[in-house]
Structure 1
Amino acid sequence: MTRRWLITGCSTGLGRALAEAVAASGQQVLATARRPETLEDLRDRYPRTLATCVLDVRDPDDCHNAIHAALARYGGVDVLVNNAGVGHFGAVEEVTDAELEMQLAVNLVAPWRLTRMVLPLMRAQGFGDIVMVSSTAGRTPMPGLGAYAAAKYALEGMVDTLALELAGSGVHVMAVEPGACATEWGASLTESAEHVAAYSGVVEPVRAGVRALKTLPMASPPELFAAEVLRLIAADGRPVRTPIGQDAWTLLLDAAQRDYTALLNARPAPAAAQVPAPV
């Protein structure tokens, strides 16, 4: 079946790999990015199946225009992939309101907005798929990634709710949860300017690992992610959640079995210090 796709965040990484895989399969895709000129090579390679459009997912007008561009080019949207995302590193105490708001704006509010905009079209045609690119971070906490994890946890809560609301409509929603991927995501993380020394022992190892994510042995190639999403959309069943990547299941299983009480009790008590007054 030839489907009409709209994918956000296609300039690099997972979004780019998926857009190319869809176009190569003969299906139609509107590949979007804040800088669509980064997609010119894909457009030239797949002129019949891939079109491009500017889309900053934080801009409601851009979101509206992208959906209308898909309607004008292909006559509809059968698969919406909310892939655009941004990461931020900082312990909870270090993350400012503005940094938290950016994480939520891109990783939660934007996919919610685009989903809300496309649902009337899908319900009217009686079918469609909405794919939320979540992360194993949406179910596995890691020190220093609290803001990112909070947005992904919330996104997965939205998916669970929407799946129930769409039951029987012919429209399906799923969260895909990549583990470590060989992309520039880790290297592109923004960081909080304030660093609280008390957290260095727990956040520094995570920072080093995340920054080197692309080179880690367990990092899966973006092409694996793309192939898995194509398989899921083509399959008869639509699971609400699917971990993707060679380390994803291990991360989620470890998180499910983690004994937080033992973990916290094993940490040394902090040295006595003057407690500042609450701000």
Structure 2
Amino acid sequence: MELGGAVVLVTGGSAGIGRAVCLELATAGAVLVVHGRDVLRAQDVADQVNGVAVQADLREYDAVHTLAGQALAAHGRVDVLVANAGQGWSGPFVEMSDHEIAELVAVDLVETMRLCRLLLPGMIERRTGCLLVVTSVAGRTGVAGEAVYAAAKAGLDAFAESLRLELAGTGVHVGVIVPAAVDTGFFSARGRAYDRRVPRPVEPETVARAVVRAIEQDRAETWIPRWIRLAALVRAVFPGAYRRLATRFGESVRSG
């Protein structure tokens, strides 16, 4: 897909991966609509990329309609959605409240699906568009201490794969970005610092460059770093060995 002049909505675009994606897309010539929960931070990024800031708190049920309406009103269309908004939670599953479970699944999975449903009709009608979803290696392999987060990301993967098949021939491309650890404020916000030695966190700019390539080259999936896909491969081919290793390296979560 040609990004020059394309209208791109980036959810969670006010910080971290989303901010880096906005900056990289602007360099590629895209017209940015920057979403954030914090309107001041979203506006700051929008000013840097000559874009439009939109505010919506996706923890609130009606917010996704507000977000879609604002995004479509900004330029009359959305050609590309980079679904990056999300939140994390780390710790023993039994310590999560019902509210925390519901909120995480809503923000990380349900609201992305609802937003795609609102933006897709225009893309299908124009016979061009791209839905690019930021998932996580956690959704492919499972991670101790992140059961609900991993489940939500796994749901995003299944949603994107199914939608890709459904939209074949429509001109609308669906892809996923599958990062491992990324050096952003995500880990402090989730309540637990990143304490694993492998994989080492990558810079958000690395993810942002991968996002641009994925859109331009219609890539179905992109792993960051690329070698991390071996974890999912080992899990599929040697599940017993993988689980023994994963259990060993997950001990710190249960004892921390």
1:77 aligns with 2:78: yes
Could you tell me which residue of structure 2 aligns to residue 270 of structure 1?
none
Could you tell me which residue of structure 2 aligns to residue 239 of structure 1?
219
1:199-246 residue CA offsets vs partner (Å, 9 max, x unmatched): xxxxxxxx6xx5347x977211101111111011111xx333221225
Task: State the percentage of identical aligned residues.
Answer: 34
**What does residue range 205-224 of structure 1 map to in structure 2 within 5 Å?**
210-212=193-195, 218-224=200-206
Which segment is superposed worse, 123-132 or 56-65?
56-65
1:147-183 residue CA offsets vs partner (Å, 9 max, x unmatched): 1001111111111211111111111211211111111
1:10-55 residue CA offsets vs partner (Å, 9 max, x unmatched): 12110111011112322101001011201333333333xx110102
**Counterpart contact for 1:95–1:147, Cα < 8 Å:** no
**What does residue range 187-198 of structure 1 map to in structure 2 within 5 Å?**
187-190=188-191
Q: What one-letter code is carried by the residue in structure 2 that aligns with 1:86?
A: Q
Structure 2: 5+ residue stretches without partners = 248-256
Matches of 1:217 and 1:86 in 2, distance apart? 20
1:176 aligns with 2:177: yes
User: How much has 1:100 moved relative to structure 2?
Assistant: 1.3
Query: What SS does structure 1 have at the residue aligned with 2:141?
Result: coil
1:42 aligns with 2:45: yes
Structure 1: 5+ residue stretches without partners = 191-206, 268-279
Matches of 1:57 and 1:98 in 2, distance apart? 14
**Counterpart contact for 1:180–1:248, Cα < 8 Å:** no
**What does residue range 10-21 of structure 1 map to in structure 2 within 5 Å?**
10-21=13-24
1:227 aligns with 2:230: no
Please give the TM-score of this superposition, normalised by the length of structure 1: 0.79
Structure with more of its chain in helix, by fraction: 2
Matches of 1:105 and 1:262 in 2, distance apart? 30
Matches of 1:167 and 1:225 in 2, distance apart? 26
How many pairs does the alignment contain?
244
Which segment is superposed worse, 246-255 or 2-11?
246-255
Larger radius of gyration: 1
